[in-house]
Structure 1
Amino acid sequence: MIPPKFKQLVEQRIRGTFDDWASKGSIEETEIYRFLHNLKGTAGTIGMKAIEREADHLLGLFSDVSRRLFDYGECFDLLKGLLLELPQEGDQEQLEDSELTTSTAGSSQIGNRILVIDDDVELAAYLKAVLEERNYPVNIALSAERGLKMFYDLKPDMILLDIFLPDTNGLEVLKQIVEKSHQEHSPVIVISSEDTKTHRINAYRFGAMDFFAKPIDQELLLALIDNRFKIKQQWEQSIIVDELTGAYNRKYFNRTLRQLIMDFQRTKRVFTIAIMDLDHFKRVNDTYGHLKGDEVLRSFAEVVMELKREEDSLCRYGGEEFALLLPNTSKEQAVHVLDRIRERLSARLFEADGGPFQVTFTSGVTDIHLDNMHAEQLVEEADQALYVGKESGRNQTVIFAPQLISHNYEQMLNIVVVDDDPLIRELVVSELSQWQPNRSLEVAVKSYDNGVEFLQSDWFKEKQKYIILLDGAMPTMDGVEVLNELRVQYQERDIVIAMLTARGNQTDIIHALQHGADDYIIKPFQMTELVARVERLVHKLFK
C-alpha cells in the first residue's frame, strides 16, 4: 500500500509547475519535456495510472532537444489534461513540512547504503521511504554534480542512477564512476522512463549492472536490490577473507575502519581497535616449520572468532598480526574480551616432534574520540601500545595513552647492505654513514658479505624500519632467494628492499620486482644516485 502523501506530493508538484510557468510567461520545450518525462515515471511508480497515461501521451508532442519557446497559454492548452486528472484542491490533505524533506542525513546503519541520483524529488523521496523501510540506508542527490560528490564522499554500496538529470546525462555520470564502483563492487542500476534498446545497450556497455524501467514496480525493484546485494556479498566474501585463517583481510579492515569512523562522525558511537601479535611466532616457524606455524595462525583465528561478538570484525592484518574492530565498545571493555581470548588460547596445546608447546599474544588497544578520527592515527596508536606491550614482557594487553609514546623506534632508520663485494660494501657504508636524511631520523648502517649470514644474524628489531640494499648475484644464496625469505618472514610495511645488480637485463629486473623488490639500482652507480634512491625509499617507508 503506497502512502497517500506521495500522491499528494505529485499533485502539488503539477500545480506548482503550472503556477511557476504562469509567472514566467514562456517555457522552453526541453523544460516541458523533462517535466513530463519525470512525471510519467513517478506517477506510474506510485499508482497514479491516469496521470502516467496522460504524461506518456503528451511526451509525443515535445522534443528533448528543441529550444523552442511556448507561451503559457499555448502550453496550458496542450497540458490541461493533466489538471483534469487531479482532485479538487479542497479535497487534499495538507502535508507536514517534514514529509516533503529529502534529507541526505541517512541512517546510522553502516552497510548496504544506496545512493539515489535522480532529479525527480517526489520519486526520490518515495524510493527513500520504501528502501529505508527495508533497512537500506539511502542518500539522495538531485543532480549529477551532487551525485558525483556524494559517490566519492559516502562510498555507497549501490547506486540507482537516472539517465535524465538537469545538469548532464546520467550515462556521463556512469562513465565517471564505473571504474571506482567496480573496484568497490558497488552495482550501478540505471533507471529511466525511456526503456529503449539504445539506452539499455549504452547502460550495459558503460558498465551498469542493470537497467530498470520507470514506472517502478516496487516489489520487482526490491527483489532486484536484495538479489544484487546477495551477489555483492558473495563477491566480497571471495576477496576479503584470508584463505589460511578465515579472518577478514587487510582490504576489509581498511574499508570497515573507514565506515566506523564515518559512523562515529555522525552518531558519536565509540568503537575500539585492538592489534594483536603472536609472541615469538618466527621461533615457531623456525623450530617446528611453516606448516605448524600455519596451524597456529588458524587456531588463533578460531579462538578469536569463537569469543568475539557477531558485530566484531577479526582481520588478518599481516603475517602473525591480527586486528579486531569492536563497534560500540570502549577500550576498557575490549580488554575484557582480549583477556578471555588469552585465557582460551593459553589452554591450547600444539603437538610437535619436540613435544607440545603453547602460544601467547600481545595486544595494543585504542578507541576513537574527537582528536583521533583518522584511520592512520588509530592504527598508529594501537600499534604503539602493542610495541610497549612487546618491549615490557609480551603476553599482555596495553591501552594506548599519550605518555606511552616512544619516539625511539619511530625515528630509527636501519640501512643494511648485503653484498659479497667488499669494496662496494665499504663505499656504500661510508657514504650512508655520513648521509643526513631530509627528516629527523637516527640512521644506523650495517653490512653483510652474504645472504646466509645476514638471515641468520640478529639483525631485526620489532617496530623499527629498514632499508635493505641487496646484491642480486651472491654465492650460496643469491639475492632473489634472500628477497623471498624476507617477504615471507617480515612485515612489508617495516622493510623496503632495493636490488643492487650488474645485470641490465629487463627480464632480471622484472623478476626481482615481481618477487617483492621495491626498487633496483644497476651497477656501476654514482653515490649521488644511490643517495637519491635511498631518499625515495625513506619516503615510501615513512609515508
Structure 2
Amino acid sequence: MDLQKYKNHLLQTIKDNLSKWLILEEGGKVANAEIYRFLHSIKGTSGTLQIEKLLEISENLLEKVDEDNDSMWDVIELKRFLSPLIEFTYEYENFNELTIPDEPIPQSNAPLIQIIDDDPSMLIMLKEALEENNWMVMACTDPEQAVKQYFEMKPDCLILDVHLPHKNGFEVLQEIQEYNEKYFIPTIMISIEDSKQTRIKAYQNGADDFIQKPIDLEEFVVRVKHHLQRKKMFDQSVLIDELTQVYNRRFLVQSLPRFFQDFKRTKDPFSICIVDIDYFKKINDTYGHLMGDKVLQDFAQYLKQNIRSLDVIYRYGGEEFVIVFPKTTSEEAKNRLTELNDGFSSLVFTHQDINFTVTFSAGVFMVEDETVTIDQALKMADSSLYEAKNNGRAQVVCSIADSVSENQKGYLNISVVDDNFIIRTLLANELESLSINRFELNIKVFENGPAFLNSKHAKEDVNHLLILDGVMPKMDGIEVLQQVKQWQKAKQYKVIMLTGRSNKSDVKRALMLGADDYIIKPFEISDLQARIERLLNSMK
C-alpha cells in the first residue's frame, strides 16, 4: 500500500495547525488541551504511517504536556516548545525525508573560501561546486567590498579573477599581499587569459596557483583541497602568531589548563585578562590595514617587553590579546594593566605626517575557585572587557559577578524577512539559541518587505543582520535590499539572501547590490547557523 499521500496529508494537517498558532501576535494564548490533542493525534497517526522520527518527536513533546492541565500556552513559549516539530516539518517538506539528523554536522570550523569575480554566473557555479565539499564560501563581485570582506572574515583560501571592474585582480592582490606575507593564506588566480606574461605577473604578485577559464570543476576542487590541506598543516605546525610574534590562540588552548592545574595544587590565585585595542576598526579605515598591522605589532611587543617573565601573552584573535598573570590578584592585575595603558597611550604613531595615539581596554577575572572552568573564566574576562568598552574605553574592569549583565554588551538587531511562517519561526528559534558574548541579540521576524522597512527595528542606530527572502509578495527581496543599501546607516548592515535554486538571476542581482552572502533554499539549518556566527564574529 502506498502511504505517501497519507503522509503528505498528515504533514499538511500539522502545517495548518502550526500556522494557526504561530501567526498569533505576541501575547497570544493557546489552550493546553488543544496542544495535547494535537500531539496525541500526531503520535497515533505517525505510528500508523511508520514515520519513526515524527513518532519520536511527538512522544517526547507529549510527555511534557499534562492532559488535565487547563492552563494556556503563551505563543512565544509555544514556538520554542514546538521547535522540534517545526524543524521536522521544514526538513520533510523541502527534502522529502522522514528523518532528520540527531546531531547536525558542525560547520562553524569549516574552511572559509572567498571568491572574487565580477561574473555572478561564475561565482554561483564555483560556490556550489566548493560547498558540495562542506566548505563555506563567501562570494563577491565588487573588489572594494571584497577587500573589506577579506580583512573582516580572514578566509582560509582566496580565489580571485584577474579582470575585475575598477580594480583588477593584481591590484587587489597587491593590496592584501603584505597581510598574506604575515599569514599563510593560499591564493588562486583565475582568468580567461592564459598568456605566459599573465601567469608570471600573478606569481610575482603572490599568487600560489593559476587556473585558466573555462574551468574544469573536478580539477578545480582538487586543487583547492590541496591548498586547504597545506594551510591546515602549516597552521598546526606553529604556535607563534605570525604577525605579532606572541603565542597564538592554539597555544592558549593547549597551555591554559596548566595554570588551572597549578592553582589546584598551590591554591595561589591567578588572573586572566582579555585586552582589546580601542577603535581598531577606525584605525584600519582611516590609515589602512598596513598601519593597523603596525599598531598590532607594536602593541604586542610593548606588552611583551613590559610584563614579567612569568606572565604569558597570547593573540586571541583580531585586535584582542589574552594575558595570564600567575600568582596575581585581580586588583594587582588591574593596577599593572592601567600602568601599561598609560605607557602605551604615550607612544605616537605617524601615518603620512598625521600623528595619532592608541589606548586599550581590558577585562580581568581572578581564578580563586576550583569549580571555575576555563570557558567560564574567559567568558567573565570577556564580559568585563565589554563593560570597559561600553563605559568609555581606555580602562580596566574586573569581574565581580558570575553572570554577564545586559548593559555589558553591544546591541545587535536581527531581522528575518520571509513570507513562509515555518521558515520565519524556524530561523527565529535557531537565532535565539545563538550565544554571542559581545552582543545582546534583538530578533524580529517580518512576513514582507514593507513591514520590515517601515519598522522601528529596521531604523535603529545599531548593527544589524538582515536575513532576507528573495521572492515575496508586495515587495521582493531585491527591492528591499536596494532600499537598505541607500540608507545612511547601510554600513551597519550585514545581509544574507535566501533564494531558490531556480532564481539564480536574483542571486546575481543580490551580489551586484552588495549582499554579504546568499544561501540556496532548501538549506541545512546548521549551515545557515555557521554562516550567521561567522558574520556576527566579524562585526564589532
**TM bucket normalised to smaller:** 0.3 to 0.5
TM-score (norm 2): 0.40
* Higher RCO (CA 8 Å, separation ≥ 6 residues): 2
Q: Which has the larger radius of gyration?
A: 1
TM-score (norm 1): 0.40
